[in-house]
Amino acid sequence: MSDLGTRLDRYRGQELILYCAHGNRSLRLAKALDDAGFENALSLAGGITAWAEEGLPVELPGELDDAQRVRYSRHVLIPEIGVAGQQRLLSSNVLVIGAGGLGSPAALYLAAAGVGRLGIVDDDVVDESNLQRQVLHSTAALGEPKVASAEERVRELNPDVEVVGYRERLSADNVDRILDEDWDVIVDGADNFPTRYLLNDASVWHRIPVVHGSIFRFEGQATVFAPGDGPCYRCLFPQPPPPELAPSCAEGGVLGVLPGVIGSIQGAEALKLALGIGEPLIGRLLLYDALAGSFDEVAVRRDPSCPVCGDAPTITEYVDYVEFCAGTH
Ligand SMILES: [Zn+2]
């Protein structure tokens, strides 16, 4: 009981409904939890047997097969995940924008973790200058579409994962079609401002949380934009920086391992959101400085006057993002 009490600690204060087959064991547990300070633990009278006899809906938890029990054993051992959490991951849908520096570690760890359906959007081909950091791709894949190279690598890593590849650049013309395909979480590994603003607006309108990451030289940042619960990208950055002050990684350079750190943090946040556990980085911008070896955190808030997620939005349809980011309007 003491162990169970600790494991249930995160539910303290919430209403808990306990059930067993006939309602006897759950009644004893409810009493024990009440003694342990859980005031809202109730036992389902008659148990699941009476529930089912009433004709009320019953959903049987999915099972893991033998190979999955072994593959995901280190997840199953964690009380916050367990068999049910792993099942949840296997039926979750995560869309990764960009199979580059950030998308590589994110996609690899999400695939290894058993995210059942992994979307990858990228229109680029593997270039030699990518290999210093984009660990999804190998020297043998030079010249191949990144989506094809990513698909192959993910398939080799974990056959449980269905990869949905989009060999296209995210644009106002395709974003609704892609986002409409049932994604629980989006990982933003875009390397340019037009895509970032487009994805932001689309995700606010589609109400899909976005795990944001960005990198430059030795510094990176990550946060979670959850529509209706915290700021969006435009709340933080209403305007893109002037192009001359915002060099891309092709122009400014990046330490090879940096996207590994930030993309892995994005992977962790995506898994937390898919599992519904922990404290997501909503309203918090996490900053990492590889040279200093330090992490910092800045609180960020939703802006009620934000043009997209604010109380009276002024932008309600897609704009010309390339033009917007070029600062011409
Ligand atoms: Zn906003």
What is the model's pLDDT at position 328? 54
Distance 253 CA to ligand 1 centre (A): 29
Give me Rg for the CA atoms of the chain: 22
Strand segments (E) across the chain: 16-18, 41-43, 93-97, 117-121, 162-166, 185-188, 210-216, 219-225, 284-289, 294-299
Distance 53 CA to ligand 1 centre (A): 49
User: How are beta strands 219-225 and 210-216 bridged, if at all?
Assistant: antiparallel
* C-alpha dihedral sign at 88, 89, 90, 96: positive
Residue 222 CB contacts under 8 Å (≥ 6 apart), including other chains: 211, 212, 213, 262, 265, 266, 269, 281, 285, 286, 288
Distance 122 CA to ligand 1 centre (A): 25
User: 3-class DSSP state for residue 162?
Assistant: strand
Distance 233 CA to ligand 1 centre (A): 6
CA distance 286 to 297: 5
CA distance 46 to 23: 5
Q: With CA atoms as reference, report the closest residue to 184 among 161, 203, 199, 166.
A: 203
User: How are beta strands 219-225 and 284-289 bridged, if at all?
Assistant: antiparallel
Say which amino acid occupies 28.
R
Distance 226 CA to ligand 1 centre (A): 10
CA distance 131 to 142: 9
**pTM exceeds 0.75:** yes
Distance 172 CA to ligand 1 centre (A): 18
Please give the chain's pLDDT, 329 residues, in tens.
545 655 577 677 788 888 877 888 788 888 888 888 888 888 888 888 888 888 888 766 668 999 999 999 999 999 999 999 999 999 999 999 999 999 999 999 999 999 999 999 999 999 999 999 999 999 999 999 999 999 999 999 999 999 999 999 999 999 999 999 999 999 999 999 999 999 999 999 999 999 999 999 999 999 999 999 999 999 999 988 887 777 776 778 999 999 999 999 999 999 999 999 999 999 999 999 999 999 999 999 999 999 999 999 999 999 999 988 887 54
Distance 224 CA to ligand 1 centre (A): 12
Residue 3 CB contacts under 8 Å (≥ 6 apart), including other chains: none
Say which amino acid occupies 96.
V
Distance 119 CA to ligand 1 centre (A): 25
CA distance 207 to 186: 11
Do 197 and 324 meet the contact criterion of CB atoms below 8 Å apart?
A: yes
What is the model's pLDDT at position 63? 86
Count of alpha carbons within 13 angstroms of residue 225, beta-carbon side: 30
What is the model's pLDDT at position 107? 98
Strand segments (E) across 102-261: 117-121, 162-166, 185-188, 210-216, 219-225
Distance 201 CA to ligand 1 centre (A): 9
Distance 144 CA to ligand 1 centre (A): 37
Distance 230 CA to ligand 1 centre (A): 8
Distance 184 CA to ligand 1 centre (A): 20
User: How are beta strands 162-166 and 117-121 bridged, if at all?
Assistant: parallel
Q: How many residues does the chain have?
A: 329
Say which amino acid occupies 254.
V
CA distance 185 to 113: 15
Distance 155 CA to ligand 1 centre (A): 37
Distance 227 CA to ligand 1 centre (A): 8
Say which amino acid occupies 252.
G
Q: With CA atoms as reference, report the closest residue to 229 among 296, 266, 280, 270.
A: 280
Q: pLDDT tens-digit profile of 59-94?
A: 666 689 999 999 999 999 999 999 999 999 999 999
CA distance 41 to 19: 11
Distance 311 CA to ligand 1 centre (A): 9
- Lookup result for tokens 């960005």: 214
What is the model's pLDDT at position 60? 63
What is the model's pLDDT at position 6? 59
Residue 3: is it exposed, middle or buried by C-beta count within 10 angstroms (0-12/13-18/19+)? exposed
**Backbone phi and psi for residue 85, each to the nearest 5 degrees, phi listed first:** -65, -40
